[in-house]
Amino acid sequence: MCRLLGYLGSPVQVDQLLCEPPHSLVVQAYQPQEMESALMNADGFGIGWYHPQKNAFPYLYRQTTPIWSDVNLPQITRYVESGCLLGYVRSATPGLAVDFSNCQPFSSEGLSLPHPLLFTHNGYIEKFRQTLYRPLRLSLSDEVYLHIHGTTDSEHIFGLILNQLYTQPKLSLAQAVETALNQLADIAQAQGNIYFCANIVISDGQQLVATRFASRSPAPSLYWLDHDVNYPAGTIIASEPLFEGDWKKCPEQSIIRVGEDGTVNINQVAPRCYL
C-alpha cells in the first residue's frame, strides 16, 4: 500500500500541501494512520504538477529514497506554485523493485493524447508478476505497450486507462477509468479470481478523477475536502486527512470527479466484482 494526494484549484505553493500540514505526505510516509498491509512508505516518492500558465507537459520530481530524507524537497516545493498537482509516497509491493522506473506519478508523455496525464495508484494486484502481468500487457495496443517502462501493477493499470483513451478518443477521462476498471476485473476473474485494489488519482490538468475501489471490501482509505478555510478555491483528495477539517470519506466502489469549476461529482460504479 502507498499514500497519495491530489489537488485542483487556485494555484498554491506545493509545500503548503506536501510538507507543511501536520499529517502531510511526509508524515504519512513514516507514520500513516490508516494503512492495513504495511507500516510505512519508505520506498520512494514523487510529485507531479502542471504549470499555472503554460500549456506544457506536467513536471515531475521523483526519487527512490524516503521522502523525509530528501533535503532538496522543501527548497523545491517552496518556490513551485500549481493549481493542479499529484503527490505520492511508496510502500513497494514485495517482488516489485525499488527503482526509478517504478516511481510514481506516471505520465502520458510520449503518447499522442489530447491532454497530458498524470497518474498515481494506491493498491496492488495479488502476486502480480505471476498472475496478471502477461494478460494485462497482451491487452494493450503496441503504442501503449511500449510506453510502459517499469514493472509495477500500478503502471499497468495506468496502461489500461491509456489504452482506452488512445483507442477510443471520444471517451471522457472518467469513462476511460471506469472502463479500464471493468476490464481489469474481467481479466482478473478469468485468471482465477485474482484479488486487486485500485485507489487512483489521475488528472489532465483541468480535472481530477479518483477511484476508491477493491474487488472485495474494504477498499483502501480515501478522502476529499473542498471549500476549506485554508483552500477556499480548491479541492483535495488524499489517502488520509492532512489536517483538521470537514474531510469526507469517499464511498467504496466509486468514482470521484472534480471539474475545472470545482464541482465534485461522486458516482457509484458497478465494476464486475467477483469476491
pTM for the predicted model, two decimal places: 0.96
Contact 48, 116 (CB under 8 A): no
> What is the tens place of the pLDDT at every residue in 143-175?
999 999 999 999 999 999 999 999 999 999 999
Considering the domain boundaries, does residue 69 fall inside one? yes
Residue 122 and residue 199: Cα distance in Å, rounded? 5
Share of the chain above pLDDT 70, in %: 98
Place of cell 482506452: 164
Using CB atoms within 10 Å of the CB of residue 129, give its burial: 0 to 12 exposed, 13 to 18 middle, 19+ buried: middle
In a domain, 141, yes or no: no
Domain count, the chain: 1
Residue 185 falls inside a structural domain: no
Report the C-alpha gap between 159 and 188 in whole angstroms: 15
Q: Do the domain assignments include residue 246?
A: yes
Closest C-alpha among 80, 85, 79 to residue 58: 85
The domain of 46 spans: 3-123+200-268
Quick check: 164 and 180 in contact, CB under 8 A?
yes
Q: Could you tell me if residue 187 is inside a domain?
A: no
Task: Answer whether residue 101 is part of any domain.
Answer: yes
Catalytic residues: 2
Average pLDDT, the chain: 94
Residue 167 lies in a domain: no
Domain-located, residue 61: yes
Over residues 184-198, the mean pLDDT reads 94
**CATH at residue 101:** 3.60.20.10
Write the pLDDT tens digit of every residue in 23-64: 999 999 999 999 877 789 999 999 999 998 888 899 999 999
CB 17 within 8 A of CB 236: yes
